[in-house]
Structures are given as structure tokens and as C-alpha cells.
Amino acid sequence: MSAHSGAYRIAVIAGDGIGPEVVAEVLRVLEAVAAPAGFEYETRLFPWGCGYYVEHGHTMPADGIETLSHYDAIFLGAVGDPRIAPEEVAGVGPLLAIRFGFDQYANIRPVKPLPGAPYPLARPEPDAIDFTVVREATEGIYVGLGGRFSPDDPAVAEIVAVRQIFAQSNEIAVQTGVYSDAGCRRVIERAFLLAEQRDGRRLVTSATKANAMKHGMSLWNDVFAEVASRHPDVESEWNNVDALAMRLVLKPETLDVVVAPNLFGDILTDLSAALLGGLGFAPSANLGDGHWPPMFEPCHGSAPDIAGRGIANPTASLLTLVMMLEHLGEQRAAQAVDGAVREVIASGAVRTPDMGGSATTEEMGRAVAEAAAAIVGRS
């Protein structure tokens, strides 16, 4: 039985495109395992996203963060629909609004291929790959500082002097990356703690590029060395991000935990999702510290081109549910859902079109729900 007092309060934002379709299957599977696993929960669905923007002029209400602060976890389906709202609108909220509002600085992306899922590499065998990427999610180049300037603007005089071509241009765009030692330290520390909890090699690999980004990345490297010195039981190493990208393709079995600043992590995590068969298989969690709720979201987009057709692959959402259950301490339920997803995909009997089958989103959700209920009932 869970040690949690009372029912878990889970905020659900189905979002846009295929979001409502995959979230429906998450709720189906959650319902299937909760009672037999011995815990209670309540959900509240928030209709935020691009559809909400069309009606209200913003993707979530001004008090949205305050409202969500009273929940134990947030589950987000997908955001964005260029048919009804510009990309920058979907990007600002609710995803980034929640991530920044609750200081969710660590984006966690496990990479463990599923038997039977599409697999792009000739070698190694998929069961040899099992690593996690920890991406810093609040700093770096994504802080949004900078602007577009005329080269004769006094604000960019020092910048214009750096390259002759700048002065010959009609416009200069400045995108400022900001790195703090505290921001680097907390996400690197989380990566080392995660490595200590994992079975196997217990290695943390840092993605860096100090030879080209000497200020921000030298700070990152210094903090990485400092944190590594406090965890002598964990191996540590660094790779320039370009070399690490190549390693993800050629030798992914050599990785255990990868920690990366925001931009590098964004790119590497999508590359790592390819090892799973695509973004339709990639789960993630956005974690902070303290009492603020974490947010769990599949890594795929809203895929408006297939929205409403009932053919979206719910695997990423269901594996994201596994991460949420693990975070809540419901290991029995988490193991049942994870086992059920793997069992259904390995059997090949129920596959959505992206896996070469003809099953609907609902059919796959029902198959996983039945398998998960059976597994938790036996445990």
C-alpha cells in the first residue's frame, strides 16, 4: 500500500493535436492499475493549449501556475497546433510556463529500446542500450535574452567591432546564453545521484564544448569537476557535444547517464529518441526541487496531421506514466505498466501504423491496460 496520505492529485493537460487521444489511454491504464496496486488518485482535466488560446487569447489563465501548485503531479499530452496558433504561442505556454514557473530544471529522458519496436542500428543489439539523458532545462541559450539590432545601435557597438561582416550587415541578432554555477551544479548533481541509483556501470558523461563556448562551457566544466570529486564511487568523463552525438550512433552501449546544458540536451535527446524507434516511444519527466509538482510529458509533438484519426502511438505517453508512478513511489504499478507496454509491443499483435500495424490508439491502450492489470494482479 502506498505511504501517501489520501489520494494523489494529478493535473492533466491533454493539450493539442493527438494530445487528447494519447492522454485518454494514459488515464485508461492508470485506472486499470490503481486499485489492484493499492492507491487512490483523482484527476482534473485542464483545457489549456492552442484551443484555449483561440477562445481566450492565451494558452493558460494568469493564475494557472498557482492552480497547478496544489497538485502532486502534472501530466501533459502535447502542445502546439500551427493551424490555429503560431509556434511561439504554443512554445510559451503551457509547457515553458510550467517548466519555468515551477523551476523544473532537470528534463529526464530514459533511453531503453523496447523489444519489437522499430530499431535503426545494425549494432549493437537493442538490449545493450540503457542510458538516461539529464538535460538542464532553465538556463543557457534558451533564457530568451538578446534582440535584433541595427549595426549602428550603441547597444551592440562592441559586438559589431568583433567581425567585419557585422558592420556590413543591415541587422544583427544577439542571442545571449546565461549559465550560473548554481544552475549547473544542481542539474549535474542530480545526474550523479541518478547514476548512484542505477545498476551497472555508474558513469556520468558530460556534454560540453568549451573549445568554442569558452565562457559558459568552462564554467560548466569546472562545476562538473567539482561535483564529480564529491562522488568518487561514480565514474565521470566529458565529451565535446559533436563527438558525443557521433558516439550516440556508433557506441550508445557505452553510455550510462549523460548530463547536458539546455541546447545540447535538446538536440541529443531527440537523437537518442531515434534509438527507441522515434519520438513516439520517448518518455520524459521535468523535475525541480522542493514541494512544487513535477511535470511528465511524452517527447513527441502534437502531430496535427494525424490528430483525430485515432492512429497515434500511445507508447511514449504510457512510458511517461511509468515515470510518474515511479516518482510517486508506486513502484508496483510502475513495473506493471512498463512490463505491459513491453509485452504488448514484443508480441506484435497490437501495433499502431507507425510500427507497421493497423491498430488504433484505443486498441493499443486497451491491450496495455489489460496486460498491466494482469501483471499487477499477480505481483
* Range from 181-185, 288-292, 314-318, 342-346 carrying the lowest mean pLDDT: 288-292
d(CA 39, CA 306): 35
Q: Which spans in 38-177 are helix H? A: 50-56, 64-68, 87-91, 97-101, 157-160, 164-167
231-248: pLDDT as tens digits:
999 999 999 999 999 999
Q: How confident is the model at residue 88 (pLDDT cuts 50, 70, 90)?
A: confident
Q: How confident is the model at residue 201 (pLDDT cuts 50, 70, 90)?
A: confident
Catalytic residue among 16, 81, 130, 209: 209
131 and 258 share a domain?
yes
Mean pLDDT (whole number) for 318-328 = 98
209 is catalytic: yes
Catalytic residue among 103, 112, 119, 270: 270
Q: Which residues pair with 134 in a beta bridge?
A: 108, 259
Q: Which residues pair with 12 in a beta bridge?
A: 45, 75
Q: Between 9 and 88, whose confidence is greater? A: 9
68 and 164 share a domain?
no
Domain count along the chain: 3
142 is catalytic: yes
6 and 87 share a domain?
yes
266 is catalytic: yes
45 and 166 share a domain?
no
Instruction: Assess whether pLDDT exceeds 70 at residue 2.
Output: no
114-161: pLDDT as tens digits:
999 999 999 999 999 999 999 999 999 999 899 999 999 999 999 999
78 and 42 share a domain?
yes
- The mean predicted confidence, pLDDT, of the chain is 95
Catalytic residue among 41, 71, 142, 179: 142
Instruction: Assess whether pLDDT exceeds 50 at residue 260.
Output: yes
- Give me the pLDDT at residue 77, please: 96
Catalytic residue among 127, 242, 251, 289: 242
123 and 262 share a domain?
yes
86 and 36 share a domain?
yes
99 and 7 share a domain?
yes
167 Cβ contact partners less than 8 Å away, ≥ 6 residues apart = 151, 160, 161
Query: CA–CA distance from 219 to each of 102, 208, 230, 239 (Å)?
Result: 25, 10, 17, 15
Instruction: Assess whether pLDDT exceeds 80 at residue 4.
Output: no
d(CA 150, CA 167): 9
C-alpha cell, 39: 492507491
Domain termination residue (choose one: 223, 248, 276): 276
d(CA 269, CA 281): 12
d(CA 33, CA 374): 9
Mean pLDDT (whole number) for 191-215 = 95
129 and 261 share a domain?
yes
Domain termination residue (choose one: 232, 259, 276): 276
Q: Which residues pair with 239 in a beta bridge?
A: 207
Find the CATH number of the domain harbouring 68: 3.40.718.10
d(CA 107, CA 273): 14
Q: How confident is the model at residue 337 (pLDDT cuts 50, 70, 90)?
A: very high
14 and 95 share a domain?
yes
Range of the domain at 170: 140-178
131 and 249 share a domain?
yes
